[in-house]
Amino acid sequence: MKLELRNISCGYGKLTVLNGVSLTVDEGSVGLFGPNGAGKTTLIHAVLGMVPLQNGEIYFDGERIDTKKTHTIVRQGISVVPQERELFPAMTVLENLQVGAENIDRARAAMADTLELVYSYFPILKERQGQYAGTMSGGQQRMLAVGRALMAKPKLLILDEPSLGLQPSIVHELFDILNIMKKEISIFLTEQNLRESLRTVGKGYILENGHIVLEGDADGLANNPQVTRAYLGL
Amino acid sequence: MRQNKAVIGSAVGFIGVMIIILLIAKPSALIFGIQRAGLYAAIALPMALVLGIVHIVNLAHGEMMMIAAYLTYSICVAFGLDPLVAMVPTAVIMFFVGMLLFRFTIRYALKAPELNQLILTFGLAMVLSQGINLLATSQPRKLSVDYVTSSATIGNVSFGTYDFIFLAVAVIFLTGLMLFLKKTRLGKAAMAVGQNPVGAQFVGINVISTYTIIFAIASAMLGIMGAFFITKMSIFPTVGGAYTMKSFCLVAMAGIGNLPMVLLSSLVLGISESAVQSIPGGTGWSPLVFFGLIIAVILFRSYAKTAGVK
Ligand SMILES: Nc1ncnc2c1ncn2[C@@H]1O[C@H](COP(=O)(O)OP(=O)(O)O)[C@@H](O)[C@H]1O
Ligand SMILES: [Mg+2]
């Protein structure tokens, strides 16, 4: 598995949000850090083909994907846990999980097994499988969104600010699970919470105002004074 | 949920009371009301499907049924077929007509403000009825089919039996749609798209082609209804407009995405219209019943919402 962004620029109408960003995610887990409005979500939407590129290319496993449609890219093995979760509120937990697999041939065939795996990561989803997604708490909805993304049997799991709006104990619990998950699957996540994510990712990029301003392995970032001052409050 | 129960409860209660009153006072009005409700529901269900999943109010809905009725008429005249046989090619043709209409017009208004969508489909409605006016003139057309005049007598009430076919079609449509949406992969994907089109993209659903197929299915259903319509009614270029209005109001009464409620609201509407018409001199008053009911239901819904009934 290898996701490669080569010098991409993109934005909305005349507004350019990302300006010549290059980034590589291969085996192992990678983080993208930056303040609100830096362009993290925009970058993920560009990978999924939801925001057209003004410049540059995106490759997934050597194949160019920036000209493809979103559903094709998802079916090729990139699953995203959106920042806003984007669940199906009037479907039950189980139906949300099933719909995560049903539209992808490879995932549909393995649905029963993947469901067991998801339930083993998040036992709460099994307990609540008959409950409507829209009636669950923020933390449970985030877990359901992760579960739904896993149901697609992706090669790469992307999480857009998974800690957003969750209380610290739940964030901690979620990252514990991601740490188990990353042994099985490549993870790319965006975050503002570096304290939690630096124990999950091997490598990280710092994005500010649409530019990558710093990159390095997790230890390097954790010890970089620029990073500790801006993101760890030290 | 509770609001829904309250609405269903009052609808069922209302229907019950009307049935009892009419059974005693005017049984034939009850039968006509139920038959009329079937016709309304069968025409409104495809609109409810489109509104629930594509989120488009199709103001050309009745006109599409009118087109289908003309299609059936032409096929019957050209090949000497029975309209219920001509129904099959009509439905197939309407499926593709719906597909093309969606691909080349409605699709481009999906992200536009709702007013633009309404103007677009209103424009389509005008094009369709004026197009037919040019092609076929405004002269009413009718097929004479003998089986539609069959009747039955219970006690001293006699009534047409064929008209119950509309109720049967409505029930078949409803059951078929519910099964499709709950049990098939395409149907479940359509439900997902209806609830959250952005979320649907994230799970690998092709949203635009789902919209297209749903619109085409609704058009094919209108094709079927067009064929049934011409077995009983005469058609002319503007015959569809009233059905657009009624379907829209029934769907609004039922609540977006609530297909079974479409059948219930049709019963409320059909039976009360028929009750008013059975009063001597009441015929002209039936549109008032119609709009009065709509206003009552919509007021009730907003009241229930502001009063915090969930
Ligand atoms: N749909 C949109 N239309 C216009 N501007 C947008 C849209 N989405 C995001 N932006 C702008 O793009 C910039 C980056 O936003 P975003 O990618 O959401 O940042 P982040 O996820 O890092 O907080 C912000 O200035 C934001 O206002
Ligand atoms: Mg964001």
ipTM score for this prediction:
0.96
Tell me whether residues A74 and B189 touch, CB distance under 8 A: no
First and final C-alpha spacing in chain A: 36
pLDDT 10s digits, B203-256: 999 999 999 999 999 999 999 999 999 999 999 999 999 999 999 989 988 888
Tell me whether residues B189 and A152 touch, CB distance under 8 A: no
Rounded to whole angstroms, how far apart are CA atoms B266 and B261? Answer: 8
pLDDT band, very low/low/confident/very high, at B2 (cuts 50, 70, 90): low
pLDDT of res. A204: 96
Q: Does the beta carbon of A88 lie under 8 angstroms from any beta carbon of chain B?
A: yes
pLDDT of res. B3: 60
> Looking at residues B70-94, what average pLDDT do you find?
97
**Residue B204 parent element (H or E):** none
3-state secondary structure B21-41: HHHHHCHHHHHHHHHHHHHHH
Rounded to whole angstroms, how far apart are CA atoms B248 and B251? Answer: 5
What's the domain range around A200? Answer: 1-77+155-234
Q: Tell me: do A95 and A134 sit in the same domain.
A: yes
pLDDT 10s digits, B84-134: 999 999 999 999 999 999 999 999 999 999 999 999 999 999 999 999 999
- Residue pairs spanning A and B at CB distance below 8 A: 59
Q: Tell me: do A135 and A37 sit in the same domain.
A: no
Helices B185-195 and B164-183, axial angle in degrees (round to 10): 90
> At which of A123, A154, A185 does a domain end?
A154
Nearest-atom index, ligand 1, CA of A160: 21
For ligand 1, pick from A9, A12, A23 the residue to mutate: most ligand atoms within 8 Å of CB: A12
Q: How buried is A13 (Cβ within 10 angstroms: 0-12 exposed, 13-18 middle, 19+ buried)?
A: exposed
Q: Tell me: do A166 and A145 sit in the same domain.
A: no
Q: Which fold has domain B2-306?
A: ABC transporter involved in vitamin B12 uptake, BtuC (1.10.3470)
Q: Tell me: do A164 and A227 sit in the same domain.
A: yes
Residue B1, pLDDT > 60, answer no
Q: Tell me: do A160 and A73 sit in the same domain.
A: yes
pLDDT 10s digits, B166-200: 999 999 999 999 999 999 999 999 999 999 999 99
Tell me whether residues A82 and B196 touch, CB distance under 8 A: no
Q: Tell me: do A71 and A167 sit in the same domain.
A: yes
Nearest alpha-carbon partner for B215 in B49, B64, B60: B49
- Nearest CB partner across the interface for B195, out of A69, A71, A90: A90
Q: What is the DSSP letter of A185?
A: S
Nearest alpha-carbon partner for B44 in B211, B270, B235: B270
CATH code of A186's domain: 3.40.50.300
Q: Is A128 in the pocket of ligand 1 (CB under 6 A)?
A: no
Backbone angles phi, psi at B145, to 5 degrees: -120, 130
Q: Tell me: do A203 and A150 sit in the same domain.
A: no
Whether A93 and A125 have beta carbons less than 8 Å apart is answered as yes
- For B289-294, the CB contacts below 8 A with 24+ separation are B290/B246, B290/B249, B291/B249, B293/B253, B293/B268, B293/B269, B294/B249, B294/B252, B294/B253
Ligand 1, atom 13: nearest CA belongs to which residue?
A37
Rounded to whole angstroms, how far apart are CA atoms A173 and A168? Answer: 9
Nearest-atom index, ligand 1, CA of A35: 22
Helices (H), B255-307: 259-278, 286-306
Q: Tell me: do A175 and A143 sit in the same domain.
A: no
Residue B282, pLDDT > 80, answer no
Query: What total number of domains does chain A contain?
Result: 2
Q: Tell me: do A227 and A123 sit in the same domain.
A: no
With the C-alpha atoms ordered B190, B195, B201, B204, is the resulting torsion angle positive or negative? negative
Set of chain A residues whose Cβ sits within 8 Å of the Cβ of B188: 95, 98-99, 102
Query: Which chain A residue's Cα is nearest to B201?
Result: A71
pLDDT 10s digits, B6-65: 777 777 887 887 787 777 777 888 899 999 999 999 999 999 999 999 999 999 999 999
Nearest alpha-carbon partner for B210 in B224, B225, B226, B196: B196
Whether B98 and B220 have beta carbons less than 8 Å apart is answered as yes
**Helix (H/G/I), strand (E/B), else coil: B151:** strand
With the C-alpha atoms ordered A104, B216, B104, B120, is the resulting torsion angle positive or negative? negative
Bridge partners of A216?
Answer: A204
Rounded to whole angstroms, how far apart are CA atoms B30 and A69? Answer: 54
- pTM across the whole model: 0.93
Q: Is A33 in the pocket of ligand 1 (CB under 6 A)?
A: no
Whether A46 and A56 have beta carbons less than 8 Å apart is answered as no
> At which of A94, A127, A154 does a domain end?
A154
Ligand 1, atom 16: nearest CA belongs to which residue?
A39
pLDDT of res. B310: 42
Bridge partners of A8?
Answer: A21
Tell me whether residues B203 and A99 touch, CB distance under 8 A: yes
pLDDT of res. B130: 96
Q: What is the DSSP letter of B109?
A: G
Q: Tell me: do A103 and A67 sit in the same domain.
A: no
pLDDT of res. A137: 95
pLDDT of res. B48: 97
From the CB of residue A167, how many other CB atoms can be counted at a distance below 10 Å?
12
Q: Are strands A53-60 and A63-64 parallel, antiparallel or unpaired?
A: antiparallel
> At which of A106, A136, A154 does a domain end?
A154
Q: Which residues of chain A have pLDDT under 50?
A: none
Whether A149 and A96 have beta carbons less than 8 Å apart is answered as no
